[in-house]
Amino acid sequence: MIILETERLIVRNWREEDRELVHRISHDEQIMEFFPFRLSREESDKLYDRLYTMITETGYGFYALERKDTGECIGFCGLVAMSMEPFFKEGTVEIGWRLIPETWGEGYVSEAAKALLEYGFMEKKLPEIVSFAVHNNERSTAVMQRIGMKHDQSRDFSHPKVSDEYPHLQPHVTYVMSRDDFLQKHESHSE
């Protein structure tokens, strides 16, 4: 199932041959630098199953990113409905991503994320999309800024699922884009 295509990417549901990539992007020290856990093979297989099922059943999820030129799956970017009370109410849609390091700095995440913002606001008619990251994860926050999201300091939070043994991973910053902001930006670019 293809969600959308960009100039260089196919944004799609997962295929069985992507299991190894899901394990890599959930276990690799460099990729998981800002996460307090690394998934075992069994855990990453369960994650693969959840990702595939979520997309199949709801249309939302962290979608596989496939390079058009090589056919290689390089990570994910997607839209996920979630809740994390009191910070995010039930049904809040988050945009998130994770890529293999060999592709960092090539603009793939920004390309996919911009297309998914448009998909979320134009096709799914979402009122708002949020993104959040550990406060000093400069790679992720730079992407958030490049795709036009704005830091909402009033919504920064200490992640409740990160244990006290990782205090440096608890402070999170929140970036937001509303549908109105997207439409306004979209209209100004089309003039």
Task: Retrieve residue 45's tokens.
Answer: 């297989």
**Is-contact 31 24, C-beta < 8 A?**
yes
Q: Which domains does the chain have, with CATH numbers?
A: 2-190 (3.40.630.30)
pLDDT tens, 24-73?
Answer: 999 999 999 999 889 999 999 999 999 999 999 999 999 999 999 999 99
Is the per-residue pLDDT at 145 higher than 90? yes
- How high is the pLDDT of residue 188? 66
Average pLDDT over residues 81-102: 94
Please state the φ and ψ torsions of residue 70, each to the nearest 5 degrees: -120, -20
Is the per-residue pLDDT at 185 higher than 90? no
pLDDT tens, 35-47?
Answer: 988 999 999 999 9
Contacting residues for 46 by C-beta, under 8 A, at least 6 apart: none
Kindly give the pairing relationship between strand 157-158 and strand 88-99. unpaired
Q: Which of 24, 3, 10, 9 is nearest to 80 (CA)?
A: 3
